[in-house]
Amino acid sequence: MGFSLQCWEPRSQRCSTVYTGALQTPGSFLDPEMRAFLEENTEVSSSGHLTPEIRLRLLTPRCRFWQERADLWPYGDPFWAIYWPGGQALSRYILDNPDAVRMGSVLDLGSGCGATAIAAVMSGASQVQANDIDPIAGMAMVLNCKLNNVNPFPILTKNIIDTELDNWDLIVLGDMFYDEQLANRLHHWLRKCVRTHGTKVLIGDPGRPQFLGHCIHSQLHKVVEYSLPESTRQENNGLTSSIVWSYQP
Ligand SMILES: C[S@@+](CC[C@H](N)C(=O)[O-])C[C@H]1O[C@@H](n2cnc3c(N)ncnc32)[C@H](O)[C@@H]1O
């Protein structure tokens, strides 16, 4: 597969569809051309990850772009088409421990395919919002909500790191500490959210070096560790487990 966090560099969005970047009503993502492209180039999958009860449109070995050169993919890197180990662990934890979200408000930051936000809805969160700076992720999330018979939640496609934040009960971040600069910004912003609002923060990560070596690590408490399925291990250069951490500055 041509896409991995190891080779990722932020790219400008090459998507030709017009999005405002503001809080979207879910239907506004359903550009018919883009929808057809996503459906043609992904496969509905419920196996090979930690939450078989959540069905997702993902890039699998049976998809054309699994083998094709990554630079032939016509849009920005499709991180929303991969269910990353950090998100898998968070979603598994939320499904197994609904009390962690029940009746509370949850923000899934860097939501990608939206699985963790979907898990929060399934577990009874009273309010869920997803945020991802890739507008195509927004459309993929709408499709994934439909697959799981979940009412689409609001999706925000502008950057909110470093901004004043609403008072969320819980912020979840799956596999978001893959880049040092992003990790620094997240750390600073999350600390402010916790201190200002008493927000709880859960981070899912499979032990990426940028995460393990970051100073946030000394302020984390291990919640649970999951052994990763074989196919997820293969897609992630042999990483074998994924951990949910609670951030307590
Ligand atoms: C490695 S993926 C993780 C996706 C998902 N959380 C999971 O675990 O499957 C990282 C995601 O973060 C998004 N992202 C990167 N920078 C961001 C930012 N500043 N704000 C919101 N999302 C961002 C990317 O577009 C990508 O979808």
Strand order in the sheet with 23-24: 23-24, 155-156, 127-131, 105-109, 170-174, 200-205, 241-247, 220-227
Tokens of 176: 């978001």
pLDDT beneath 50: ranges in the chain: 1, 6-22
pLDDT value for 107: 97
Hey, CA dihedral for 198, 94, 242, 108, is it positive or negative? Answer: negative
The tally of domains found in the chain comes to 1
- Answer whether residue 2 is part of any domain: no
pLDDT in tens, 41-53: 999 999 999 999 9
Say if 163 falls within a structural domain.
Answer: yes
Q: Is residue 223 part of a domain?
A: yes
Instruction: Give the model's pLDDT for residue 2.
Output: 55
Helices 135-147 and 32-41 pack at an angle, to 10 degrees, of 70
Residue 13 placed within a domain = no
- Distance separating alpha carbons of residues 121 and 49, to the nearest angstrom: 19
For ligand 1, is residue 174 a contact (CB within 6 Å)?
yes
Q: Closest ligand 1 atom, CA of 85?
A: 8
Which residue range forms the structural domain that includes residue 29? 22-247
On whether residue 14 sits in a domain, the answer given is no
pLDDT tens column, 154-183: 999 999 998 988 899 999 999 999 999 999
For residue 39, how many C-alpha atoms fall within 13 Å in the half-sphere facing its CB?
11
* Most ligand 1 atoms within 8 A of CB, residue of 79, 93, 180 to mutate: 79
5 in a structural domain: no
For ligand 1, atom 4, the nearest C-alpha belongs to 112
The residue whose CB lies within 8 Å of the most ligand 1 atoms, and thus the one to mutate among 113, 161, 176, 243, is 176
Confidence at residue 172, expressed as pLDDT on a 0 to 100 scale:
98
Instruction: Answer yes or no: is the C-beta of 78 below 6 A from any ligand 1 atom.
Output: no
Two tokens, residue 160 = 């909110």
Residue 109 lies in a domain: yes
The CATH number given to whatever domain includes residue 88 is 3.40.50.150
Q: Is 3 close to ligand 1, i.e. is its CB under 6 Å away?
A: no
Tell me, using a 6 A CB cutoff, whether residue 16 lines ligand 1: no
pLDDT score at 56? 98
